[in-house]
Amino acid sequence: MSARSVALLLETAYDSEQLPVAEDAAGQIYLDFEKAHKSSRLSAGKAPEELNFRFERLRLVVALAFVKAFTRLSNNEKSVEVLELLEQALQAKSTKEIDKVVQKKIAAFDNLYHEIFVNEQREQLLGLFEQTLDAASKEELDELIFEGLELMQDINWEADKEDDPDDMEPLDEDFLKNL
């Protein structure tokens, strides 16, 4: 994958909304991770704090993209909490700080799965999000970025807005009584 792929994933997820990082910052997060990854391989395979921190930041950006895309498709208010939590964690200056931010509001992740109507693309996005949280290598994140880009290109972003049950007129109570 490339820095541009990460930036495109985030841009696609957020569409015309303001990104959680500057446009070029998402790509820079990937480049910073690649640099730390190469440096770590050259230093006898040690996993320094810098590599862990850069990996966590990349994972946060990918997770943000999947949760934002899910939020756009589902209009799930609970997922906004997760977005805010991930954005706050992205501002952290160390791996320990990221963990502290996430642990403080870990229950927000459970809320992603409440009030979800069955929808294959939403399920796929949440699956990619879960896999992102479980990812432990550059190769896994690269594959998730690729899968996310493919999925987001196939999503009809307007279809769910048209079929949103909240946007439908309520049924007439008299009509319901006569059934």
Structural domain contains residue 161 = no
- Domain enclosing residue 64, as ranges: 3-156
Residue 11's pLDDT band (boundaries 50, 70, 90)? Answer: very high
CA 145, CA 128: separation in Å to the nearest integer?
Answer: 9
Average pLDDT over residues 104-117: 76
**Assigned token pair, 26:** 């998402």
CA 122, CA 129: separation in Å to the nearest integer?
Answer: 10
Structural domain contains residue 83 = yes
Q: Of 13, 35, 12, 11, which Cα lies nearest the Cα of 23? A: 11
Residues in the chain: 179
Is residue 151 pLDDT above 90, yes or no? yes
Residue 18: phi and psi, rounded to 5, are: -65, 130
CA-angle at 146, arms to 32 and 4, nearest 5° = 45
Average pLDDT over residues 158-174: 53
Structural domain contains residue 172 = no
Determine the pLDDT at residue 111. 76
Determine the pLDDT at residue 118. 62
Structural domain contains residue 8 = yes
Structural domain contains residue 29 = yes
Least confident range of 22-31, 54-63, 115-124? 115-124
Determine the pLDDT at residue 169. 46
How many domains does the chain divide into?
1
Is residue 5 pLDDT above 80, yes or no? yes
Is residue 91 pLDDT above 90, yes or no? yes
CA 146, CA 140: separation in Å to the nearest integer?
Answer: 10
Residue 79's pLDDT band (boundaries 50, 70, 90)? Answer: confident
Structural domain contains residue 167 = no
Determine the pLDDT at residue 93. 94
Structural domain contains residue 13 = yes
Structural domain contains residue 113 = yes
DSSP 63-89: HHHHHHHHHHHH--HHHHHHHHHHHHH
